[in-house]
Structure 1
């Protein structure tokens, strides 16, 4: 059975962010992830992790002005200096928080900008980030995101991510495979997982349509969890979904799958 990490950006959002660590622990999670730590002191986050015996498995590099609608800057030629400063900031937080991997959001492709220039910029930034992260023993992740939810997002398919990583050529760079985004863009989840598992550093989930918890949509998560087990996936699965009602009310799927696993064992 996969190990699940609560995404605190989306789960338990009925309570203030720093209180979500306790809520996740009470709900039975042993690990958490979130988008960004930068609005908070690293020491305050570390205290919450230690107080509730939680492991932090992922956060993102700075991604521009999120509130203004930016979703990453890594492909943008005019933002290279800002990107590099963000890498340094992210590494400092990662070292303070004990997280082993950081996700890099590519950003939206400006419609009037040359695609080849965007790709060169993205690859050069990833090479820089991978080298800086490697100095601290960190993995770099890149995440394809569907263009229905984020129109114009530059990195949107698994095969595209793989070709970019091939060109980057860094042994600490991997795909963050979000099952929800992949389902919306390309389907073929089981086959893609089998083909590229050795290139996947982290998995996330949400059901489709709606991006709510497993069991609310079309995706067969019982099959996918068993498939990940058969393939030998050893990482965490981040629960990055919007609860259909409250977080606690939507955790039945997790309890059900854990109970099934216990019976099978």
Structure 2
């Protein structure tokens, strides 16, 4: 018996021994769905979401995601992974027809102003990180990179801060446009991330219109915007022309759809009705630990958007 096959069989046997009877039946049902694309939208899991099924190896996790019908993947930490790991993950995504979603493009200033300050050194630092991210994006076939403008500058009027951010993003767009890479600006909620400059979708919309570049668009994180502003579908509709990427998480708890107050079935239906072909990142935790929790995530997405 080949070593790889032996290891897979041994791992599967060990997993089954530790599972309840209901877990065994659920896993059998899970395998019956292998290689069937059951999703109308390009949902993107992340590393660790299915580690109890696939193990800790990122390549095995990518293969498991593809087997369950996922056609995209995102990895906030991709930029920090060793180059050889990036290359291996990129090859697997190409082989399995998985679209690479976002990774975080730069150091995020959670407690101090950077882009909003207008400080030239901070601007140059950010632009250098954007240049570095271009190389990573080319290596892993990423079209989108996440940008968070950082903390507000309490010593400056908001209008001046906005102009500083716009100017920096214009310069970043000039770096990204030749490579057809899009930075997606992510508004974050006041509860989890107090004091940040960018918090609401209309604000992000205004900035993107001012930058006026295909390389500067909105990452509409449904979890954050439910907390920050609500009125989700009307705000998605109002911002539609500037949205390039979505992320998902229910509220409260930031877990999979169906665990909180957000009607994801209707939101997914609306996004699909607009002909959206981009990625929807599953940037949330699992509400239940272990294999049962991973099965619950799959069930939630299949029931909400299949």
Q: Into which bin does the TM-score normalised by the smaller protein fall?
A: 0.7 to 0.9
Q: What SS class does the counterpart of residue 38 from structure 1 fall into? A: helix
Q: Take 2:217 and 2:235, find their aligned partners in 1: how far apart are those partners?
A: 14
- Do the aligned partners of residues 261 and 210 (structure 1) sit closer, same or farther apart at CA in structure 2, a change above 3 Å counting? closer
TM-score by length of 2: 0.75
Q: Give a deviation string over 1:91-139, Cα, whole Å, max 9, x none.
A: 1111111101112111111333442332122111110111111111111
1:5 aligned onto 2:44: yes
Structure 2: gaps spanning 5 or more residues: 1-39
Larger Rg: 2
Q: Take 1:227 and 1:242, find their aligned partners in 2: how far apart are those partners?
A: 24
**Higher RCO (CA < 8 A, seq sep 6+):** 1
Whether the aligned pair in 2 keeps the contact of 1:12 and 1:24 (CA below 8 Å) is no
1:181 aligned onto 2:181: no
More displaced 10-residue stretch of structure 1: 206-215 or 41-50: 41-50
Q: Take 1:203 and 1:71, find their aligned partners in 2: how far apart are those partners?
A: 26
Whether the aligned pair in 2 keeps the contact of 1:101 and 1:139 (CA below 8 Å) is yes
Q: What SS class does the counterpart of residue 59 from structure 1 fall into? A: coil
Q: Give a deviation string over 1:18-45, Cα, whole Å, max 9, x none.
A: 7234224314233211223232223312
Alignment of 1:102-113 (within 5 A): 102-113=145-156
Q: Tell me how many residue pairs correspond in the alignment.
A: 258
Whether the aligned pair in 1 keeps the contact of 2:245 and 2:278 (CA below 8 Å) is yes
Q: Take 2:288 and 2:82, find their aligned partners in 1: how far apart are those partners?
A: 30
Shift of 1:12: 4.8
Alignment of 1:1-265 (within 5 A): 1-8=40-47, 11-12=49-50, 19-27=57-65, 28=68, 29-51=70-92, 53=96, 54-64=98-108, 69=110, 73-78=114-119, 79-246=122-289, 248=291, 249-258=293-302
Query: Which has the larger share of strand?
Result: 1
TM-score by length of 1: 0.86
Q: Take 2:112 and 2:219, find their aligned partners in 1: how far apart are those partners?
A: 16
Q: Take 1:39 and 1:256, find their aligned partners in 2: how far apart are those partners?
A: 31
- Do the aligned partners of residues 198 and 35 (structure 1) sit closer, same or farther apart at CA in structure 2, a change above 3 Å counting? same
User: What is the alpha-carbon root mean square deviation over aligned residues?
Assistant: 2.7
